[in-house]
């Protein structure tokens, strides 16, 4: 009898310990993505401090120097040089600044548009909802890369053009998520009570709707970081994005596409950087979704 009681006490004691262990692992889960993203952000901000090389200055006497760990490499160029003798590490650091800046500014534009459209459509309903959702369908069907190529041929490729194109074309998917959340909040008791006592619609939106859709908006924007960086790299690769010789990860991959056999590191290094940032941002977005959603958090 006493032995069975001891086993039961141990089982009950082990269950909270197991829960604490799972909670601890859950808290530590985003550490690696945050660290990796933080490294690239700091590297982009402090690029001029971390390297003394100019990312756009040619040095034809140092063409295609391999990375330092490869035979023939030099400690002066840790990641080697490209076909024009430019330091790959310097271009990677300055390219992080450009690529991440494009992602941040374009997502700010997309966040504002998607919030306005999604909340207005979900709260107003009726013909306003139908018109805004048809508009998002139209925008969503526009090929981003094709439009960027047309604009690049018309006004020329530039940082501003890339930010505007991505910001104006990324918002529809997020707007639909915001609309769905707004529809749910619109039917909630606290919103109906506010409307019943005469609170104005715009005040209800600011007090209740925007506050409750913030977690969804934050998760959606985090998950869109990887998509925007990939789009920017694709546009720069095709010559419709950041104009050379300015460094960006897409431009670096475009510079190295003809050098796979002789200078594989020129395209491999920015490709790995894009992969790490995309995977890290997606992992962080998944973790935020699980933590901010009460249903998945209870599970």
pLDDT given at position 6: 53
**Within-domain flag for 135:** yes
Which mean pLDDT values do the consecutive 10-residue runs of the chain (299 residues) have? 49 52 55 90 92 90 90 88 93 93 92 92 89 90 81 81 88 90 83 74 76 84 86 85 86 88 91 92 84 58
d(CA 222, CA 107): 9
- Which residue, among 122, 53, 125, has the nearest Cα to 85 in the 3D structure? 53
Q: Is 280 within a domain?
A: yes
Q: Does residue 15 belong to any structural domain of this protein?
A: no
pLDDT for position 212: 83
Identify whether 6 is part of a domain. no
CA distance 23 to 52: 44
- Is 204 part of any domain? yes
Q: 16 φ, ψ to 5°?
A: -60, -35
Whether 2 is covered by a domain: the verdict is no
CA 30, CA 37: separation in Å to the nearest integer?
11
> Quick check: is 23 in a domain?
no
pLDDT at 1: 47
**DSSP state, residue 66:** P
**pLDDT for 21:** 52
**Cα separation of 129 and 182, whole Å?**
11
Specify if 18 maps to a domain. Answer: no
DSSP 208: I
Please tell me the pTM assigned to this model.
Answer: 0.81
CB 207 within 8 A of CB 201: no
What does residue 87 show for φ and ψ, rounded to 5 degrees? -70, 125
CA distance 137 to 125: 17
Pair of tokens at residue 112: 């504002």
Distance (Å) of CA 225 to CA 133, 165, 281:
23, 15, 6
- Domain CATH for 87: 1.10.3720.10
**Domain extent at residue 53:** 31-298
Task: Count up the domains in the chain and report the number.
Answer: 1
Biggest CA–CA distance in the chain, Å, is 86
pLDDT of residue 236: 85
């Amino acid at each position: 009898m006493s032995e069975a009681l001891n086993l039961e006490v141990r089982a009950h004691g082990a269950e909270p310990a197991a829960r604490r262990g799972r909670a601890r692992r859950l808290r530590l889960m985003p550490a690696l993505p945050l660290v990796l993203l933080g490294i690239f952000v700091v590297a982009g901000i402090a690029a001029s401090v971390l390297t003394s090389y100019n990312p756009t200055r040619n040095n034809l006497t140092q063409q295609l120097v391999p990375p330092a760990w490869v035979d023939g490499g030099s400690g002066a160029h840790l990641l080697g040089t490209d076909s024009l003798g430019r330091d790959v590490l310097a271009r990677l650091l300055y390219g992080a600044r450009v690529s991440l800046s494009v992602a941040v500014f374009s997502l700010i534009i997309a966040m504002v548009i998607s919030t306005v459209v999604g909340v207005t459509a979900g709260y107003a309903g009726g013909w306003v909802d139908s018109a805004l959702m048809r508009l998002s369908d139209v925008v969503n069907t526009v090929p981003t890369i094709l439009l960027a190529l047309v604009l690049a041929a018309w006004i020329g490729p530039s940082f501003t053009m890339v930010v505007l194109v991505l910001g104006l074309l990324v918002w529809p998917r997020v707007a639909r998520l915001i609309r769905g959340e707004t529809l749910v909040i619109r039917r909630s008791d606290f919103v109906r009570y506010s409307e019943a006592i005469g609170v104005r619609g715009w005040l209800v939106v600011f007090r209740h709707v925007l506050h409750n859709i913030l977690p969804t908006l934050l998760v959606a924007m985090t998950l869109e970081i990887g998509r925007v960086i990939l789009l920017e790299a694709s546009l720069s690769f095709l010559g419709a994005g950041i104009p050379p010789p300015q460094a960006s990860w897409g431009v670096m991959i475009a510079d190295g596409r003809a050098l796979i056999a002789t200078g594989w590191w020129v395209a491999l290094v920015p490709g790995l950087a894009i992969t790490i940032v995309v995977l890290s941002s997606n992992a962080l977005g998944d973790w935020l979704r699980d933590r901010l959603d009460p249903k998945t958090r209870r599970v």
